Structure 1
């Protein structure tokens, strides 16, 4: 039975661990919440209380990695402002830097890093894995720097998985946009992916040993923001959002052809 360690058993990491168990793997999972340890254990996940900061790795990181050939890193780039001024510390990058020495001396041969299409910035046009990343947010910049740190390390193989907007049965942006006015970019296509396909793609990468790759994870479903959010609000009986048409909308369209044609994955949620 192969063992996999998942750093970050949150909205995606926890159901991923459950899916791995169903597929015959054993799983170690980390959380920053002590109260969540019993939940992980009850589900059959070997639980570890681990937190990373800009200076240290806190918890039994070496034990967490021991015996695992594959590590999935799924922690968000939460950014803190330094000294209450406008500068932002590179907290996330430092976390990855501090984690890498533990990976280097562990049994881990493969790393799957969950990143984001935010590394491409707000560029117009069709975006593929060949598109040069030009992040324009601090989180996007730090994700891209973390990607490079992992990719350039020769101690292990790294696959980067850049997900679009994450949605699920309990998660959809319309819940925050319902009833809002003057929303920008009404004609901009959505670039979303359902939680079930996030998990499906990760399982396929692991099953196929598809390492040293970069994949975009976005569903081939790209209606405009106005059309999608208006329809979704109506379905959920929420107040309709209103959009501002006075400015030109961006046309950023992210493709996941490589996931389909190279990895051979078939999306299960094709109408979001």
Structure 2
């Protein structure tokens, strides 16, 4: 039985862990919330209370990785904290946290690392984007995600695949509620770049099944109507107040392609009607 460690059993990591358990994998999962221990263990997941630190670790990282062939890093950067101007970013550096984790991975049985990143690394531009497009992040989280991608890909002790997800939606992330009732919403003509939780899990399962390592993949559903059309329709369907967009300022927004993922994994998106 192959063992997988999932760092971050949250919105994505927990249902992913349950899906991999059904495929016969043994799963070690981490959370930073003590109340989730029982939830994970009841699902058959070996729980480890791990919190990434900028300084020295006090968490049980070594036993969490021991015996696992694959590590999935599925934790959001959480850089802002209480400071919306990112003034606390250095003290809460996601890059430093991953740097501190690297020696533990190198000394473990882990051969493959799957890092959940974001299309935020591309920044914003009116262009069609694929994996050959040079990243140009504008947000602090995007900048740190890109730096972590480069750190992991350059490490010779394990193989890394970077998975850049678009906007995440699912059962408890209803896109109809994202912008409903808001006014003066920018970029009405910009395309959407979303992906459903079911496809997030399906793609990760496919990467593991096909052993697709040492690559970078965009993961966005091939469905790109304008923001105005999409969010207006979603609000109407849910009987919510449609957002009011600002049509006076030119829209800025990229279209993200997942053609490489579809080709390499022979993957068929199951959730196209987002």
Aligned alpha-carbon RMSD (Å)? 1.6
Contact 2:79/2:86, CA 8 A, preserved across alignment: no
Contact 1:111/1:158, CA 8 A, preserved across alignment: yes
Question: Which of 98, 113, 118 is residue 115 of structure 2 equivalent to?
Answer: 113
Change (3 A) 1:144 1:84: closer
Distance in 1, Cα, partners of 2:236 & 2:82: 42
Contact 1:79/1:91, CA 8 A, preserved across alignment: yes
Distance in 2, Cα, partners of 1:178 & 1:12: 24
Contact 1:80/1:91, CA 8 A, preserved across alignment: no
Distance in 1, Cα, partners of 2:174 & 2:147: 28
Matches within 5 A, 1:154-165: 154-165=156-167
State TM-score, norm by structure 1: 0.97
Contact 1:187/1:225, CA 8 A, preserved across alignment: yes
Give the aligned partner of residue 172 of structure 1.
Answer: 174
Unaligned runs of 5+ in 1: none
**Stretches of 4+ moved more than 4 A in 1?**
80-86
| Most deviating of 69-78 and 88-97 | 88-97
Give the aligned partner of residue 144 of structure 1.
Answer: 146
Distance in 2, Cα, partners of 1:65 & 1:206: 17
Aligned residue pair count: 272
- Tell me the CA shift for residue 58 of structure 1: 3.1
State TM-score, norm by structure 2: 0.96
Unaligned runs of 5+ in 2: none
Q: Give the SS at the match of 2:142.
A: helix
- Tell me the CA shift for residue 80 of structure 1: 4.5
| Most deviating of 259-268 and 193-202 | 259-268
Matches within 5 A, 1:28-67: 28-67=28-67
- Tell me the CA shift for residue 176 of structure 1: 3.5
Change (3 A) 1:26 1:120: same
